[in-house]
Amino acid sequence: MPKSSRRDFLKLVALFPPAAMLSNLISIRELPKLEQAPALPNVIIILFDAMTAKNLSLYGYPRKTTPNFEQFAERATVYHAHNSAGNFTVPGTTSLLTGMYPWTHRAINQNGLMTRSLVDRNVFHLFGHEYKRIAFAQNVWANFILTQFSQDIDTILPPTDFSALNYVFGNKFNDTAFSYRAVDDFLLKNDTPASLVFGTIEKILLARSEIQLSSEGYPRGLPQNIVYPLYFRIEDVFQGLGDLLKHQAAPYLAYFHMLPPHGPYKPNENFYGKFSKDNFHPLNKPMHRFSDHKSNAQLSSSRTSYDEYVATADSEFGRFIDMLKQSGIFDKSYVIVTSDHGEMFERGEREHDTPLLYDPVIHIPLMISAPGQQARNDIFSPTNSVDVLPTLLHVAGREIPNWCEGTLLPGLGGTENPERATFTVEAKRNPAFAPIKIGTVAMRKGQYKMIYYTGYEKKDSFELYDLENDPEEMTDLYMTKPVIASAIRDELLARFNEANVKQKG
């Protein structure tokens, strides 16, 4: 980005009340480091936003989208029935980092926050000062959650780090979560900014910078944040994060929330068009009444672009892992690869902003490579993103608090329990701190999955699927398997009502 353009705009921003501005980025803090314990393993979490397990060749997808994931899996524990506790960034990320379901932590709204009284219930706090704690989220909504944990994180990198071009200004203020909303989401909003003067100037300068920005290697243009004016090269982001880790003293807990393959889908030249002429024809599924009613042709086209972007992210991930191996970091670390939620291209629905909770939008990858691990271990019993926090505490020798709603992952301290119930909650239309009156809850128990819709119609409704014999969720068994349906429904409603009662209290 031309420095003169950004400087011109910052001069205009300086017209804000001086007390609101800070010259230094406050979201990055260096806390005093206590004496380190070299014997403790590093923990590196790499999260790919909106990456569904259903479109990964690692899990049997016909298109070869993830050869590097497959190579990584040869030295990892691979979870085949792992679900997110949410179907978009805010609840999915928060459940991963807190070990609590959305109906407990209450980060349920788009760009929302969790219950303030629970903010110390996070993985960074529980690891303690013995670990250097580092966090980076390209997704600004995920960064909102990280700012809630700022007292427990030694270094928070802003979403704009490693970018090729950005006109995001919220991180120049003291309270970053508030200032992103006040400045970027309101004052300089992409479509109709509150300030016609500053908003118009910002758009003119941004447009000029976009014209000058080289998109070499990316035929559809550089990857970008769909909400904020932020452009980047995936290879630069991974390179920057790898360089960061090379200069960290062990042990450290690093959380890296990558934006790809979240839309817009911008594959690099090595994968652009890679799947456009293959013979893969995904199953056309019936239109759902709660979907956006996209045509099968629209969904197929979007799926292909998404698959190309997944392959791009997988390729750069492979280079990143090579960096960790060459520097000696890999064999001294637990490396966790996962996502915050999935992405769907079926039943008339595209992406993940939906009340639907079918497997493409909640079935996510999870692979964990332990220090020195040399063989692959496959786990097929159901697990959930709330299980990651207690498991990481366990392998790091930390105490697991009794409020944690997850359990130890099989293969890393836990035992397989096929009959355990796990949940996914979608409730973004509700007030954050009131009982859930409109939303969707999916419960996985054994081979069955029930989806509960409440508040959308005059009468609540349920769907039941046998994922073992019907992995595409084509046959609703709710009416034809009344005994099984009744038992699962009663357990789901008991947990749902218990969560709502707590909110009333």
3-state secondary structure 323-359: HHHHCCCHHHEEEEEECCCCCEEECCEEECCCCCCCH
For residue 365, pLDDT over 70 is answered with yes
* Cβ 125 vs Cβ 114: under 8 Å: no
pLDDT tens digits along 326-347: 999 999 999 999 999 999 999 9
Burial 382-419 (b: 16+ CB within 10 A, else e): bbbbbbbbbbbbbbbebebeeebbbbbbbbbebeeeee
User: Residue 68 has what pLDDT?
Assistant: 98
Half-sphere exposure of 203 (CA within 13 A, CB side): 14
pLDDT tens digits along 162-173: 999 987 766 665
Tokens (6 digits) for 269? 């030249």
Higher pLDDT among residues 187 and 138, named by residue:
138
Q: What is the arithmetic mean of pLDDT over 282-304?
A: 96
Tokens (6 digits) for 48? 């790919």
User: Residue 183 has what pLDDT?
Assistant: 59
Q: What is the arithmetic mean of pLDDT over 463-488?
A: 98
Q: How many CB atoms lie within 10 A of CB 435?
A: 16
pLDDT tens digits along 86-140: 999 999 999 999 999 999 999 999 889 999 999 999 999 999 999 999 999 999 9
End-to-end CA distance of the chain: 52
Instruction: Tell me the three state secondary structure of residue 125.
Output: helix
Residue 340 to residue 139: CA distance in whole angstroms = 11
pTM for the model stands at 0.89
Residue with tokens 């973004």: 428
Percent of the chain topping pLDDT 70 = 85
pLDDT tens digits along 16-61: 444 333 333 333 334 344 344 447 999 999 999 999 999 999 999 9
Q: What is the arithmetic mean of pLDDT over 461-482?
A: 98
For residue 184, pLDDT over 70 is answered with no
CATH match for 437-505 among 3.30.1120.10, 1.10.3720.10, 3.10.20.90, 2.30.40.10? 3.30.1120.10
pLDDT tens digits along 296-315: 999 999 999 999 999 999 99
Neighbouring residues of 394: CB distance < 8 A, sequence distance ≥ 6: 400, 408, 412, 413
User: Residue 173 has what pLDDT?
Assistant: 58
Provide the mean pLDDT of the chain: 89
Enumerate the domain spans of the chain: 3-412, 437-505
| CATH T-level assignment (fold) for domain 3-412 | Alkaline Phosphatase, subunit A (3.40.720)
Percent of the chain topping pLDDT 90 = 79
User: Residue 213 has what pLDDT?
Assistant: 87
Residue with tokens 């506790």: 85
